[in-house]
Structure 1
Amino acid sequence: MLRTTILLTFLVKYVSLECVINNRSPSTDWEEKLSKHFQCNYKENIPPSENSTTVAIKFNLKNFYFDSEEVLFTIHTLVFFSWDDPRLKWNPNDYGGVADMITHSVFMWTPFAYIHQTKDVEKWSNFKYYTSNCQVSYTGRVVCVPRVTHTTTCSSNLRNWPYDTQKCPFNFYVKSENEDKVLFTFNESRGLSAFGAEYGSGWDIIDYETGENATGETKFFLNFVVERQALGCVAMVVVPSITVAVLNVASMFLDFKNNIRFGLSIFNLFCNFCLLKNISEIIPHRGFDTPSILYFIHFSIYITACGICLMLILSSLTRKGDPPHPWIIHFNDSVLNNRIIKYFVFTKWMEPLRSSSDEADYIGKWTDFTFIVNSLMFYIILIVYLILYLVFIPKPTITY
């Protein structure tokens, strides 16, 4: 029994060894030998050259977002680093024809630790020392593509809110003790690619630029200009503001002795205050400028209040039974007898019947005067609203 057990054990071991499938390619063995060779003879803390090493760098934007306060702007990128390291050259014929290999950045010198964001945003930055896999060619060319997160502060201008834009600069520098060891360059390219990027919720990148400054503290920079996706805010604020202004102008066509005009004016005034309340709830609170739409609503409140006062004054004048002043009669005749100006005066509303012909004549002259004043105020308010629209209503940024 013991002999049978021992025989079966050796038999199972022999059969299992014969069934093992070796998936390793010959090149894998050569790459391991090459990696061990470099690890034994390579000092990863020493730069590849006694002179300055030129490192080409390019950013590939993947996505971005703002924090809840719309102050910190964060981008996630793939950063392409490429440089030449003569110490990593080899003859492919000596290693089974292997022309390139993949190795980890911890086993070689990399320029990752030399670059930093400027000090004013360093406490928020995640741009620290990082690692990644790198491709090494037999010519000594090294390419590393780490995934990195950068964060900066943005200068927000709310003047054109909700079509406001924010400028978000990323400045990078090399510490003074390392300036002679490495030189970063975009290699005559724009330095940033946003193809295939996932845009952040609520914002669009409308422009960006990159640049180098080899002589100053900032060695290279990325500047983003982002614009708010404003359709929701436009539907909640801008369109209602324009609608209230149109209703305010249209109310001038109504009889100022009619309660409908008074009720519409009060409604417009109430809507303006509701718009101010809505804006206070959705507007960003960390901008350095006042949104122009607030000026439009404030002026609209003043115009509506003046329109209510004008309506009450004109309505009281139509009830006067006293004879009007001579200059009022002269003013009425000058306007109503002019061949051109009289067509800009609205048709008079129906006048109440009076028992006395003299009283009816006085009322008629007062009515003519109040109606001319109402027509004049209509054109003044219309022109004022057009100016306010051109100056204070926000408009989307035009990009080419």
Structure 2
Amino acid sequence: MEPKNDEGRLRKTLFCNYDRDNRPILRDGPITIRFKMIIKGFTFSDTDSKLVVSTWLAMTWTDDHLKWNPNDYNKLTSITQSSQTIWQPDLAMYNSDVASATEESCKDANCVISSTGSVSCIPPCSHTAKCMPNYNRWPFDEQNCTLHIGTWVNSGDEVDFNVSRTVLTEQDLSSQDMQWRLIGATYTRNPGNFSDTQQTYPSLKFTFLMERHSGSHSATIFIPAFALVLLNLITLWVDSEHNHRFILLALSLLSHFLYMQHLFWIVPHNGDTVPDILFGEYFHLNVSLQKFGTQLDTNDDDINLVESQPNDKPNNKKVTQGVWRTLGNIIDRVLFATLSIFYICMMARLLPEDFLDAKNPKSVVVVGY
């Protein structure tokens, strides 16, 4: 039956003999896809090192089979058509964590077709990629992850990419776990040259640089660490003859073991890098063990099982003990000053420069080359 309106007649004319498997070009050469990624949110998992990015993939190309004269259809210049019924580039993510990444990450969407043959589609997509984590600066680490997107079958002689430069603001980004912030993004066009074939398979690499922002880590990691540092310094300041020092040393040793157990459960266990904070805590534990062993030695009273001879000089023995006590106190003060400087330098090394600064929104420019 003949459609009753202009849009129906146009759809019958365009799609009566339309084949979505045919390339939408009437001449030789590649189809240029104008590509733009609009990031709506992202998450990064420490457990399995996966980056999940929610995007809108804005794609525009020209389909020579979908052109018409608006005067023939009552000045109708554009229509909306489902993406399932028209040709689309077979995009896939090469570094996906699933076996088949084709047509699984993006949902179907309605596309706008203009009378010039221009087709614009913005499907919502969710990309999942494996990353190589680096936890040296944990819990203030930065992670670098890449999404490698390209065509699955079409070569560079059939499909080519032209990426638009994008500016993202922090208000437009929403991390579902509220733990990471995007601080940089770049894209690279890979020409896709392979030695075993003359054909090229161009692709796009979107690289995201994220930094961790978690208030819970600051509260549960650095506040106890700061308390342990103060406990070590106070222990050095207490006179070695007092029993309070032995109690403080035992408390410090027990606290360090509990803190190491706490770090074991929260530190990421994947990746080849070891967080620097673990080396610092290992040093703290060794210092506590050495001080604890020294205190045990000083508390052992020397018992003389040989009767004193008349020529023994107890006054000289007391003088010697006093000299050693004075020397021990001097060593404690020197260690107190040395460890204080060392702790300050170590804290400055572990904490980022803007740790106490206000987190002001900033723009993230996606730069490509």
Q: Normalised by the shorter chain, which TM-score bucket?
A: 0.7 to 0.9
Partners of 1:125 and 1:150 within 8 A in 2: no
Take 1:271 and 1:127, find their aligned partners in 2: how far apart are those partners?
53
Q: Is the 8 A contact 2:92 2:102 kept in 1?
A: no
Count of paired positions: 334
Q: Whole-Å Cα distance in 2 between the matches of residues 136 and 282 of structure 1?
A: 52
Alignment partner of 1:92 out of 43, 64, 70: 70
Do residues 369 (structure 1) and 345 (structure 2) align?
no
Unaligned runs of 5+ in 1: 1-27, 321-355
Q: Does 1:291 align with 2:248?
A: no
Correspondences of 1:160-239 after superposition (within 5 Å): 160-175=137-152, 177-187=154-164, 189-190=165-166, 196-201=172-177, 202-216=179-193, 217=201, 219-239=203-223
Aligned equivalents of 2:169, 2:208: Cα separation in 1 = 12
Write the deviation string for residues 183-236 of structure 1: whole angstroms up to 9, x where unpaired: 12204x249787623212032222221121234455111111222333212211
Q: Are residues 1:302 and 2:259 paired?
A: no
Q: Which has the larger radius of gyration?
A: 1
1:47 aligns with 2:14: no
Q: Which residue of the partner structure matches residue 332 of structure 1?
A: none
Give the alignment partner of residue 154 of structure 1, picking from 109, 131, 141: 131
Question: What's the offset of the Cα at 1:41?
Answer: 4.0
Deviates more, 1:171-180 or 1:241-250: 171-180
SS for the counterpart of 2:172 is coil
Q: Is the 8 A contact 2:49 2:131 kept in 1?
A: yes
After TM superposition, give the deviation of residue 247 of structure 1 in Å: 1.7
The alignment's TM-score, normalised by the length of structure 1, stands at 0.74
Unaligned ranges ≥5, structure 2: 194-200, 305-313, 363-369
1:301-343 CA distance string (max 9 Å, x none) = 11112223334455669999xxxxxxxxxxxxxxxxxxxxxxx
Corresponding residue to 1:249 among 233, 246, 257: 233
Tell me the equivalent position of 2:338: 380
Tell me which residue corresponds to 2:108: 131
Q: Distance in 2 between matches of 1:116 and 1:195?
A: 28
Contact 1:57–1:79, Cα closer than 8 Å, also in 2: yes
Distance 1:374 1:194 in 2: 50
Do the aligned residues in 1 keep the contact of 2:62 with 2:119 (CA within 8 Å)? yes
Instruction: Among all aligned residue pairs of Structure 1 and Structure 2, give the percentage whose two residues are the same amino acid.
Output: 24
**Partner of 1:178: helix, strand, or coil?**
coil
Question: CA separation in 2, counterparts of 1:103 and 1:120?
Answer: 29
CA distance in 1 between partners of 2:34 and 2:22 (Å): 19
Deviation at 1:68, TM superposition (A): 7.2
Match of 1:63 in 2: 41
Question: 2:96–2:128: 8 Å Cα contact kept in structure 1?
Answer: no
Contact 1:73 1:151 in 2 (8 A): yes
Separation in structure 2 between the aligned mates of residue 380 and residue 193 of structure 1, nearest angstrom: 45
